[in-house]
Chain A
Amino acid sequence: MKAPAFTFLRPASLDEALAALAAGEGEARILAGGQSLLPMLNLRMAAAETLIDIGGLTELGEIAEADGRVRIGARVTHAALEDGVGGDRWNGMLVFVARDIAYRAVRNRGTIGGSLCHADPAADWPVAMMALGATMQIAGPDGRRELDSEAFSLDVFSCALEEGEMLTAVSLPRLSPAARWSYRKMRKKAGAFGEAIAAVVHDPESGLVRVVAGSSPLGGPARHADLEASIAAGAPVEDAAIRRSLAAREPDLDRYEMQIHATCLRRAITEVMR
């Protein structure tokens, strides 16, 4: 279990990193914390001609607030978010989510941007970011652009980054003190990927209502607009409605999968509407 050979670059600036990515012509990959990529390389389930280590790009490691939104650099680690570095503007939600991602030693290396770009369908940040209304800040050969979470998340292990692009930060609104959230993850053991994840956020001040479910059987995170509408209207959400919503999205869920996803969603919605 040793990684195949690759060329290693450690650019000193974002421009250098983008240039290296362009030079790689699709065969170069960004290395952030490496906590997903390196296991796959060791298993030889992934390969890259060139790894571009962005560990030296301090600008990607910053957290800053402007115009009511918070910009979290792509290189910010799970551990930093667990520790509330840069302040908690989400009533504890990011701390809560971060604390249950893998293990502390992994969280010390693994980054929010890496997790979002890797797009593991069972990962936490894609679900949590979508639930918080985050947008993705992207830099590429043609300049910068921004995508909302739904547009960024394409498919299993696939995001909307084009060749030569990289994620630089996520931008998300802060929650008002009155906002409520619930994050429910069912997993086989502590630190394991979720078998089913449900995130619900309701901010009555900003009007943000999000119901997001994610997992491998669901093929990644997505919003449940019908359930969001019920919550926004303050209407009770029946179990049957949750199941209908899940079935509409993924008709192939088996009975067990339906049960665990519906339960996580129902419990999260109940907690938020309580």
Chain B
Amino acid sequence: MSQANDRPATATGVGAALPRREDARFLHGRGRYIADLELPRMLDVAFLRSPLAHAAIRGVEKPEGAQDRVFTAADMAGLVAIRPTTNVPGHRIVGTPPIADERVRFVGEIIAACVADSRAAAEDLVELVMADLDELPVVASVDAALSPDAPLVHESWGSNLSMETRFESGIEEAIAAASVRVTRTLDMARQAMVPLEGKGVVAHWDAVVGQLVVYSSTQSPHLIRNGLCHCLGLQQRQVRVVAPDVGGGFGYKAILHPEEIIVAWLALRLKRPVRWLEDRFEHLTAGASAREHRYEVTAHADAHGRILGIDAVLTTDAGAYSIWPHTNGFDAVQASGILTGPYDIRGYRVHTRTVATNKPPLSPYRAVARPGACFAIETIVDAVARAVGRDPADVRLDNLVGPAAMPYKAVTGKEYDSGDYPACLRRAREMMQEVEADPLPDTVIGTGYAMYTEHTAVSTATIAPLGVQMMPGFEHAGMLMQPDGSLEIRVGVQSHGQGMETTLAQIATEVLGIDPERVTVRHGDTALSPYSTGTYASRAIVMTGGAVAAAADALAERLKRVAGHMMQCGAAEVRLVGGELRGPTGSLSLEEAAHIWHFRPFDLPEAILRDGLELTAGYRPDGDRAPFAYAAHAARVAVDLELGVVTLLDYVAVDDCGTRVNPTIVDGQVLGGVAQGIGTGLFEEVPFDDQGQPLATTFGDYSVPAASEIPMIRLDHRETRSPYTRFGVKGVGEGGAIAPPAAVVNAINDALAGIGAELCAVPATPRRVLEAIFAARDRHGAAQEDAR
């Protein structure tokens, strides 16, 4: 293989399957999550939320005697609304109001905040607040929103179209050359993100430092601080955002939530600690949700299934407002930028429409938009294969970008840096063929494949043109060597399950040779770390890992100067090997070097003393280019043709995220992503009725797959180093979630092929599967009628 590390993995450095250093506290119930914080005199908040999807607020009546415990927009007049920014021409955008003023535009929008000594008492108070609402007409789907004379979510817009983009390259040539044309309309439902710990915020004023301290269950403490300062009119130095242990995020906690703003405002106003903990009902009904894409796609191919062009219209249901900072257009931008997938397709036309509806805002969720794009291209590839009568995996192999073409500039303008896509698919097929399907009674078995290539660790160059208020393509790390030679690393990303307390220590170990047991990684606190946009976009191991390595390099140089001086040789002659500073004539341990700097300053020259053993270093991948991770997934399903029930029998994922800093943790990221993707593909959905009422309000209606639904996923890896990143790493946090909806639906369609049925929507619930079967039967029946 062309890949493999050029360097053997050490027991504890990059490449080591080091057990996680985080585990012990969680296994003993000693994690500290937002709900675990206790502050004296803390008040709990509960919200009165709109029961209607669209209404004018005529008034809000506070209960007698509770005027000072109930707060409405009128009370919060000083609050500045959050304003997402955009450079996309014609993009109309309204940020989510912290609290509704004259209008409510989705069920669950906040109308009043009630505080009490306990959450139960706060909820009691909510029941006594009366909101006088005038019901307005609702648009609860893109079809309703785009119909002529549709009611308007934002009247000043004149329509419900928030953003529209178009891109075209080589499509006419492709259409002219193609002999096969396959068109499908593909739907991915709206879903909730469901970190097991809900969102939560605790805020209080720290009079000693003169700071508003906001504890938030967030992935991005510095971004939240930016947003809060804007809304509250505070200077950045006056706000500290701390993320404690965070019980899962997946994008839901990478945005600024209205509740964060209100809780911070209440803490300032009431001069007491204030807390809000999102409950599951709030999460499912009022929180930002995700996905909800429709693709109308035509593939133009030759008779052999070689795809020459993709022509697509993508419509996203973005809800009533935009989240911040990413904007409501993120899904459309991301999906249209990667729709041609890992294939060498030279003709492409895409028209995106981001549509406002009376639903909660759409938020980036693990792998933002790419599960939808992958679902679209990968089901179309299978449809093309069926149209030309070939095996879908063979058709894929003919269309994939080959390893010799790397780096490959896609028609979308994206540059795929490295990898062997066909070998990856061949491996997945081999693994799938190794295991015989175990048939279930009353079912038909099908196998499906899906691939993706994924822009990880998004670059500044990609984001800057969009004009959003975050700049992701770089990262810094602080590093401090203590007097005893132990090491503290301070980073602005937030580890919420990714195991960065382990992997970032491994990177320091790789460079410095220090025992990871002598390294502490501190994260998630604006008071501790350099600025960071946070943990999202599969960026932390690339960006922060690179920054930690850069800081370790710089620290190593300083230590070498100490050692060189003590050993009377040049710093350049000192090598750092296995935690030893070795010169031509002797060696010093890290502990000795640290000790000398701290306790024997008289032995060192002033320049070395001045620099010290604490520093901050920054990192950006070479040329501001992003590494592309990729994978081939394969699913085997048993479909009950009478009940529509799909059972996932087997699942294989072969991925390439470049060098794996910790292979165990990489496996965990992929497995977790795949399980969420299976949720998207088979189970998870927040439907709304035509009045905008959410129909999945508990886990009784919203099915999150458990161990009973997720098979023992089988993994393999390729390891093609990215040419642009430190250690050759690529991001891996999101990728697992991308391909499962496509792989699962392709497997279902393989099973349904015998009866001529085809599914074009996820999640593939029994009802959707049976409706696809009914449609095929009706066509068949009609054809028989015609034949008579």
A residues engaging B (CB < 8 A)? 1-5, 39, 43-44, 186, 188-193, 195, 255-256, 259-260, 263-264, 267
| B767 contacts A256, C-beta separation under 8 Å | yes
How far is A68 from B706 in the complex, measured between Cα atoms in Å?
41
Nearest chain A CB to B703 CB, angstrom units: 5
Contacts of A191 in B (CB 8 A): 706, 708
How far is A43 from B700 in the complex, measured between Cα atoms in Å?
12
How far is A264 from B644 in the complex, measured between Cα atoms in Å?
12
In the complex where A190-B708, A256-B771 touch, is A2 in contact with B700 (Cβ < 8 A)? no
In the complex where A1-B280, A5-B124 touch, is A263 in contact with B703 (Cβ < 8 A)? no
Nearest chain A CB to B280 CB, angstrom units: 7
**Nearest A-chain residue to B707, judged by Cβ:** A190
**Nearest B-chain residue to A190, judged by Cβ:** B708
Of B123, B124, B642, B770, the most chain A CB neighbours within 10 A belong to: B642
Contacts of B700 in A (CB 8 A): 192-193
The one of B120, B281, B698, B766 that contacts A260, using a Cβ cutoff of 8 Å: B766
Of A189, A192, A193, A256, the most chain B CB neighbours within 10 A belong to: A256
| A3 contacts B120, C-beta separation under 8 Å | yes
How far is A188 from B643 in the complex, measured between Cα atoms in Å?
11
The one of A39, A43, A186, A193 that contacts B766, using a Cβ cutoff of 8 Å: A186
In the complex where A188-B765, A192-B700, A267-B442 touch, is A4 in contact with B124 (Cβ < 8 A)? yes
The one of B120, B280, B642, B766 that contacts A195, using a Cβ cutoff of 8 Å: B766
Contacts of B61 in A (CB 8 A): none
Given contacts A191-B706, A256-B774, A263-B643, 15 further A-B contacts (CB under 8 A): A3-B120, A4-B127, A43-B281, A43-B698, A188-B703, A188-B766, A189-B683, A189-B706, A189-B709, A192-B700, A192-B703, A193-B700, A255-B774, A256-B644, A260-B644
Nearest chain A CB to B779 CB, angstrom units: 15
How far is A189 from B700 in the complex, measured between Cα atoms in Å?
10
Contacts of A264 in B (CB 8 A): 643
How far is A147 from B234 in the complex, measured between Cα atoms in Å?
69
**Nearest B-chain residue to A2, judged by Cβ:** B120
Query: B134 within 8 Å of A by Cβ?
Result: no
| A1 contacts B765, C-beta separation under 8 Å | no
Contacts of A43 in B (CB 8 A): 281, 698
**Nearest B-chain residue to A266, judged by Cβ:** B642
Query: B143 within 8 Å of A by Cβ?
Result: no
| B119 contacts A2, C-beta separation under 8 Å | yes
Query: B22 within 8 Å of A by Cβ?
Result: no
How far is A260 from B767 in the complex, measured between Cα atoms in Å?
9
Q: Range of interface residues on chain B? A: 20 to 34
How far is A86 from B707 in the complex, measured between Cα atoms in Å?
31
Write out, one digit per residue, whether chain B residues 676-696 have a CB within 8 A of any chain A CB (1) or not (0). Answer: 000000010000000000000
| B705 contacts A189, C-beta separation under 8 Å | yes
Contacts of A39 in B (CB 8 A): 698
Query: B670 within 8 Å of A by Cβ?
Result: no
| B281 contacts A263, C-beta separation under 8 Å | no
| B706 contacts A1, C-beta separation under 8 Å | no
How far is A43 from B124 in the complex, measured between Cα atoms in Å?
12
| B703 contacts A189, C-beta separation under 8 Å | yes
**Nearest A-chain residue to B641, judged by Cβ:** A263
Q: Report B701-724 residues with CB < 8 Å from chain A CB.
A: 703, 705-706, 708-709
Query: B117 within 8 Å of A by Cβ?
Result: no
In the complex where A1-B281, A2-B120, A188-B683 touch, is A256 in contact with B770 (Cβ < 8 A)? yes
How far is A186 from B765 in the complex, measured between Cα atoms in Å?
12
Contacts of B774 in A (CB 8 A): 255-256, 259
- If over half of A's interface residues share one DSSP class (helix, strand or loop), that class is named, otherwise mixed; here it is loop
| B124 contacts A263, C-beta separation under 8 Å | no
Q: Report B587-644 residues with CB < 8 Å from chain A CB.
A: 642-644
How far is A195 from B765 in the complex, measured between Cα atoms in Å?
12
Nearest chain B CB to A37 CB, angstrom units: 14
Query: B279 within 8 Å of A by Cβ?
Result: yes
Nearest chain A CB to B642 CB, angstrom units: 4
How far is A190 from B703 in the complex, measured between Cα atoms in Å?
10
Contacts of B123 in A (CB 8 A): 1-2, 4, 44
| B120 contacts A259, C-beta separation under 8 Å | no
Query: B645 within 8 Å of A by Cβ?
Result: yes
| A259 contacts B642, C-beta separation under 8 Å | yes
13 A-B pairs (CB sep. < 8 Å): A1-B279, A1-B280, A2-B118, A2-B119, A2-B120, A4-B127, A44-B127, A186-B645, A189-B706, A259-B642, A260-B644, A263-B643, A264-B643
| B119 contacts A260, C-beta separation under 8 Å | no
**Nearest A-chain residue to B769, judged by Cβ:** A256
Contacts of A4 in B (CB 8 A): 120, 123-124, 127
How far is A256 from B766 in the complex, measured between Cα atoms in Å?
9
Contacts of B127 in A (CB 8 A): 4, 44
Contacts of A259 in B (CB 8 A): 642-644, 770, 774
Nearest chain A CB to B684 CB, angstrom units: 11
**Nearest B-chain residue to A188, judged by Cβ:** B703
Contacts of B279 in A (CB 8 A): 1
Contacts of B703 in A (CB 8 A): 188-189, 192
Nearest chain A CB to B759 CB, angstrom units: 14
How far is A2 from B116 in the complex, measured between Cα atoms in Å?
13
Contacts of B708 in A (CB 8 A): 189-191
Contacts of A188 in B (CB 8 A): 683, 703, 765-766
How far is A4 from B46 in the complex, measured between Cα atoms in Å?
14
How far is A264 from B640 in the complex, measured between Cα atoms in Å?
12
How far is A256 from B771 in the complex, measured between Cα atoms in Å?
7
Per CB-CB distance, the 9 closest pairs between chain A and chain B, nearest first, are A190-B708, A2-B120, A1-B279, A263-B642, A188-B703, A256-B767, A189-B703, A256-B770, A186-B643
Contacts of A192 in B (CB 8 A): 700, 703
Write out, one digit per residue, whether chain B residues 743-785 have a CB within 8 A of any chain A CB (1) or not (0). Answer: 0000000000000000000000111001100100000000000
Q: Report B423-468 residues with CB < 8 Å from chain A CB.
A: 442
How far is A101 from B706 in the complex, measured between Cα atoms in Å?
15
| A260 contacts B124, C-beta separation under 8 Å | no
Contacts of A255 in B (CB 8 A): 770, 774
Nearest chain B CB to A121 CB, angstrom units: 13
Nearest chain B CB to A110 CB, angstrom units: 14
Nearest chain B CB to A105 CB, angstrom units: 13
How far is A188 from B705 in the complex, measured between Cα atoms in Å?
10
How far is A186 from B700 in the complex, measured between Cα atoms in Å?
15
Contacts of A256 in B (CB 8 A): 644, 766-767, 770-771, 774
Nearest chain B CB to A163 CB, angstrom units: 26
**Nearest A-chain residue to B122, judged by Cβ:** A2
Nearest chain A CB to B565 CB, angstrom units: 64
How far is A263 from B643 in the complex, measured between Cα atoms in Å?
7
Q: Report B129-167 residues with CB < 8 Å from chain A CB.
A: none
How far is A191 from B709 in the complex, measured between Cα atoms in Å?
11
Contacts of A1 in B (CB 8 A): 123, 279-281
Nearest chain A CB to B486 CB, angstrom units: 43
How far is A4 from B683 in the complex, measured between Cα atoms in Å?
32
Nearest chain A CB to B194 CB, angstrom units: 14
Contacts of B644 in A (CB 8 A): 256, 259-260
How far is A190 from B442 in the complex, measured between Cα atoms in Å?
18
How far is A100 from B205 in the complex, measured between Cα atoms in Å?
51
| B767 contacts A190, C-beta separation under 8 Å | no
Contacts of B281 in A (CB 8 A): 1, 43
How far is A4 from B120 in the complex, measured between Cα atoms in Å?
7
**Nearest B-chain residue to A186, judged by Cβ:** B643
Contacts of B645 in A (CB 8 A): 186
